[in-house]
Amino acid sequence: MEITTTYVGTATVLLTIGELTILTDPVLDPAGSEYIGEVPVLGGTYKLRSTAGPALTADQLPAVDLILLSHDEHEDNLDLAGRALLPTATTVITTVSGASRLGGNAVGLAPWQSHEVTHGATRLKVTATPSRHGPEGIEPIMGDTVGFVLEAPDAQAAIYISGDTVYHDALDEIGRRFKIGTAFLHLGDAHFEVGGDTRFSMNSEEAVALARSLDAQSVVPIHYDSWEHFAERPEAISTAFADAGLDERLQWLVPGKPHPLTWPTLTA
């Protein structure tokens, strides 16, 4: 089965798996877009400002069968143009709480729940995985998030998409349940002034630890650029994987350019 992936920017990836077209966390507004959010629990606000636009705009994307949305509450995972795209997809899979807000074509999954998607001759099983958008107990502030594992019938290995999460013990169960071929990891070491030293997404050291836990054959960094609140640059990711002896597993995508996955992830 042919698999092509195109990095659009932030956590937005276009995946073509057989006859199925998938888009993750659609962020499609132009560079310089700003968003202000309230954090009543912390007594302040946060600002999100993009520094680069998407490699493909909404009107340059093909028709999408499936949108995988890690969460719907932050604009660096779902902005205005991305939100407008949701109703055009056949199915949107997201958190249970997110599906209740979005309605329509949205399907909510709790961790370890699955949903099958079919288009033409291509059938895919999507399983939700744990995801936590910061330290333990952060959910009332940051909301629910979810990751995804994608499996095809009789496949040798699966695709994992982490969603916005820090590395925590619950993620170790993924490697015990699934053989992961390619892991798309949300990185960036996200920080906000209102949160102080709190980290809201993985840094490079956590990415190395999770790659080892998953025993992923290929690791694709995403969610590391294009926003002011991302504290860690790509060079740090490359250095961490090289120091860990895992640099050969790291696969960087050129934004806007289709890439075949280097690991035969869903090839039976």
Report the pLDDT averaged over residues 215-239.
92
Share of residues in the chain with pLDDT > 90 (%): 73
> What is the C-alpha separation between 199 and 119, in angstroms, rounded?
38
Which two tokens mark 51? 């520094």
Exposure string over 162-180, b if 16+ CB within 10 A, otherwise e: bbbbbbeeebeebbeebeb
Answer yes or no: is 31 within a domain. Answer: yes
| pLDDT tens track for 100-114 | 999 999 999 999 999
Answer yes or no: is 199 within a domain. Answer: yes
Share of residues in the chain with pLDDT > 70 (%): 93
Domain count, the chain: 1
Residue-number span of the structural domain to which 175 is assigned = 3-252
Answer yes or no: is 267 within a domain. Answer: no
Sign of CA dihedral 57, 96, 87, 101: negative
> What is the C-alpha separation between 67 and 27, in angstroms, rounded?
12
- Of the pLDDT bands very low, low, confident and very high (cuts 50, 70, 90), residue 43 is low
Does the pTM surpass 0.95? The reply is: no
Angle at which helix 234-243 crosses helix 204-214, to 10 degrees, equals 50
- 28 CB contacts (<8 Å, ≥6 apart)? 8, 12, 54, 56, 57, 58, 79, 81, 82, 85
pLDDT, residue 105, reads 97
Phi, psi of 56 (to 5 degrees): -130, 130
Answer yes or no: is 266 within a domain. Answer: no
Which two tokens mark 114? 């699955």
Answer yes or no: is 118 within a domain. Answer: yes
User: Reduced to 3 states, what is the DSSP secondary structure of residue 171?
Assistant: helix
- CATH number, domain containing residue 75: 3.60.15.10
Identify the residue whose tokens are 């699955």.
Answer: 114
pLDDT, residue 221, reads 96
- Of the pLDDT bands very low, low, confident and very high (cuts 50, 70, 90), residue 134 is confident
Answer yes or no: is 45 within a domain. Answer: yes
Answer yes or no: is 11 within a domain. Answer: yes
Answer yes or no: is 165 within a domain. Answer: yes
- The distance in angstroms from the start CA to the end CA of the chain is 8
